[in-house]
Amino acid sequence: MKILVCISHVPDTTSKISFTDNNTKFNNAGVQYIIGPYDEYALSKAIDLREAGGGSVTVINVGEADTEPTIRKALAIGADDAIRVNAFPKDANFVAEQIAAVAKSNTYDLILMGRESIDFNGGMVHGMVAELLGLPSISPIMKLEINGTTATMSKEIEGGKEVVECNFPFVAGCQEPIAEWKIPNMRGIMSAKSKPLAVLEPVASEEVVKLLNFETPKPKGACKMIDPATPEQLFDLLRNEAKII
């Protein structure tokens, strides 16, 4: 099976978020970048599927040259080859059009990615890629099993889960516990350096949204401590001060 895994290059989950250039640019000073955590679940699942049934795993990232260490990490984890579309991933629609353009010229049986990126949290790229390719899309999936040409998946819904079936090809957004993250070993890290990483130029995409500026939340006031001997005071405060009950 030929699998395409789409990965985002995002600040580590513990990063302090701030902006520069009059709040129009993300401040990446001191920020550690990682493979999007949900995307890493997708990548781990793709590698499990290849190990069980053969085939190949290609990773794709839409990003400028600074994302290459993140792509190399995906290769070290076990992807066979990689594609970088050389462009700043300015919005979901732009990214989806780039991925769809690559997928159109290489037929994949399965396209996996995380349920959302942890920077913009749009959760839209899987649905957009699928729509552009005329394929079904399912998200967020927590389990995927293959039986011939059909996949059985468990999808998270409010208050529970839904079991769905779909024939290949399709696009899915993944989340835990679909697979265990894999720690790259020394052999993986060494071989990642020589695995193919193709750099493609972006296709034209019509602008549908424009980012104007960023804002950070106002700092929270001090926490009001309640005597643990009389915790019911909390309800008086919630009623009379916070006015929410």
Partner 1 sequence: MSVLIYIETEEGIIKKSSFEAAGYSGALARLQGTHAVAIVFENTAVEVLEKLGNYGIQKVYQVSDTKYTQAAAMPYSSAIAELVQKENIEVIALPKSSTADAMVSRIATKLKAGVATNVLELPNLTEGFQVKRAIYTGKAFAQIQLTAAIKVISIAKNAYTATTTSDKATIESFVPTTNEVDFKIVSKEIQKATGDILLTEADIVVSGGRGMKGPENWGILLDLAKAMHAGTGCSKPVSDMDWRPHHEHVGQTGVKVSPNLYIAIGISGAIQHLAGVNSSKIIVAINKDPEAPFFKAADYGICGDLFDIVPKLAAAAKNYIN
How far apart are CB 14 and partner 1 at their closest, in Å?
Answer: 5
**Dihedral over Cα of 193, 179, 38, 101: its sign:** positive
How far apart are CB 203 and partner 1 at their closest, in Å?
Answer: 15
- Single residue of 147, 177, 194, 204 touching partner 1 by CB under 8 A: 177
How far apart are CB 222 and partner 1 at their closest, in Å?
Answer: 9
Q: 129 to 168, contacts with partner 1 by CB under 8 A?
A: 130-132, 134, 136-139, 142, 152, 155-167
How far apart are CB 90 and partner 1 at their closest, in Å?
Answer: 11
Cα–Cα distance for residue pair 114/178, rounded to 1 Å: 11
How far apart are CB 205 and partner 1 at their closest, in Å?
Answer: 11
Residues 32-61 as b or e (16 or more Cβ within 10 Å = b)? ebbbbbbbbbbbbbbbbbbeeeebebbbbb
For residue 208, give the H/E element and its range.
none
**Dihedral over Cα of 51, 170, 149, 163: its sign:** positive
- Single residue of 42, 83, 124, 141 touching partner 1 by CB under 8 A: 124
Q: 75 to 114, contacts with partner 1 by CB under 8 A?
A: 92-93, 96
Q: Does residue 70 belong to the site contacting partner 1 (CB under 8 A)?
A: no
Cα–Cα distance for residue pair 146/170, rounded to 1 Å: 13
Cα–Cα distance for residue pair 49/108, rounded to 1 Å: 14
- 64 token code pair: 């400028």
Which residue type, as a one-letter code, is found at position 206? E
Give Cβ neighbours of residue 166 (< 8 Å, ≥ 6 apart). Answer: 136, 138, 150, 151, 153
- Single residue of 101, 176, 200, 203 touching partner 1 by CB under 8 A: 176
Comparison of 30 and 54: residue with beta carbon closer to partner 1: 30
Comparison of 16 and 193: residue with beta carbon closer to partner 1: 16
Q: How many residues bind partner 1 (CB under 8 A)?
A: 77
Comparison of 13 and 185: residue with beta carbon closer to partner 1: 13
Q: 205 to 244, contacts with partner 1 by CB under 8 A?
A: 206-217, 220-221, 223-226, 228, 231-232, 234-235, 237-239, 242, 244
